[in-house]
């Protein structure tokens, strides 16, 4: 019989967990990942779903995700172990018809529950499903070292983070033309931070959590990992620049960005191209 681990989406999920671990973004149980299954994938895996756990409150209401299936990492589970034993470290969950409860249908074989950031993941999924007409399927949370470091030294403003990160690599405004959002420090794992993050997901594909990490959303695993990687690399360059010479000798100017936008056919909001 076909196993869940033969599914392409499952293999891509496991690979992404390992990629993130190898980048150094997932100390201990840090970070979490979720994938919204395509209807045909959800149908195909039904015979492999060997559990019907109790319906459990999500803690937030996500009616836009009613009856959807997700592959998620487990709470307290280590990304570095996912590749060794996916069945123990991840789960397939099902959302009920109202979007207020979930139940485990497969995985977490040694016990446990989905990531403590499930409210943020599901609220972000609900927003992104709506604004991308169903195309976005991946939500990724990582403890990206340099982005976290920047939240101690830059004002916690979307405009400042977007502009500074764009300036660090020419490709950045092409990869994230809508910019990045920033949420000030909040208690993780609950409804309040989920609401603040998902509100920003209407505008952005990436949201930074001050002194904690980042959330990224995308259509597939490559795109979502690539977005996280691009932003974190840009943050790494910025940290090096700030350490050596905070008053940059030269940089990419607002007019340079406007020329780039015209040639690469992207729209860069003028609010990020302010005079310094």
CA atoms within 13 A on the CB side of 178: 13
In the set 11, 23, 109, 116, which binds ligand 13P (CB under 6 A)? 116
Whether 27 is catalytic = no
Subset of residues 174 to 193 that bind ligand 13P, contact rule: CB under 6 A: 188
- Which residues pair with residue 70 across a beta bridge? 36, 93
Query: Toward Zn ion, which CB reaches closer, 35 or 209?
Result: 209
* Closest alpha carbon to 218 in 137, 118, 125, 126: 137
The nearer residue to ligand 13P, 29 or 217, going by C-beta atoms, is 29
Selected from 17, 29, 79, 94, the binder of ligand 13P by CB under 6 A is 29
Query: Interacting stretch for ligand 13P, rule CB under 6 A, among 26-34, 37-45, 49-57, 224-232?
Result: 26-34
Contacts of 185 (CB under 8 A, 6+ apart): 209, 210, 211, 212
Q: 242 with 153: CB under 8 angstroms?
A: yes
* Residue in 68, 94, 117, 232 annotated catalytic: 117
First to last CA, the chain: 62
Does residue 124 bind ligand 13P (CB under 6 A)? no
CA distance 270 to 276: 13
Q: How far is the CB of 207 from Zn ion (least distance, A)?
A: 12
Among 76, 134, 184, 269, binds ligand 13P (CB under 6 A): 76
Quote the CA–CA distance of 159 and 163 in Å, as a whole number.
6
Give catalytic residues, as residue numbers. Answer: 117
Query: Which residues of this chain interact with ligand 13P, rule CB under 6 A?
Result: 29-32, 73, 75-76, 115-117, 141, 188
């Amino acid at each position: 019989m076909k196993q869940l681990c033969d599914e392409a989406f499952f293999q891509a999920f496991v690979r992404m967990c390992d990629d993130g671990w190898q980048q150094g973004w997932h100390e201990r149980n840090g970070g979490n990942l979720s994938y919204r299954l395509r209807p045909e994938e959800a149908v195909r895996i039904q015979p492999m779903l060997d559990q019907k756990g109790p319906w459990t409150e999500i803690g937030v209401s996500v009616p836009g995700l009613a009856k959807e299936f997700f592959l998620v990492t487990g709470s307290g589970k280590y990304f570095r172990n996912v590749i060794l034993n996916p069945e123990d470290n991840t789960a397939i969950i099902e959302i009920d018809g109202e979007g207020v409860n979930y139940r485990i249908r497969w995985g977490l074989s040694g016990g446990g529950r989905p990531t403590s950031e499930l409210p943020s993941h599901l609220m972000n999924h609900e927003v992104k499903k709506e604004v991308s007409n169903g195309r976005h399927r991946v939500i990724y949370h990582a403890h990206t070292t340099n982005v976290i470091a920047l939240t101690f030294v830059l004002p916690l403003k979307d405009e400042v983070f977007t502009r500074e990160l764009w300036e660090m690599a020419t490709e950045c405004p092409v990869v994230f033309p809508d910019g990045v959002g920033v949420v000030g420090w909040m208690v993780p794992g609950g409804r309040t931070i989920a609401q603040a993050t998902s509100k920003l997901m209407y505008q952005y594909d990436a949201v930074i959590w001050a002194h904690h990490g980042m959330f990224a959303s995308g259509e597939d695993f490559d795109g979502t990992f690539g977005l996280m990687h691009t932003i974190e690399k840009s943050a790494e360059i910025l940290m090096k620049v700030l350490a050596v010479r905070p008053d940059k000798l030269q940089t990419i100017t607002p007019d340079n960005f406007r020329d780039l936008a015209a040639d690469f056919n992207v729209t860069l909001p003028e609010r990020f191209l302010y005079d310094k």
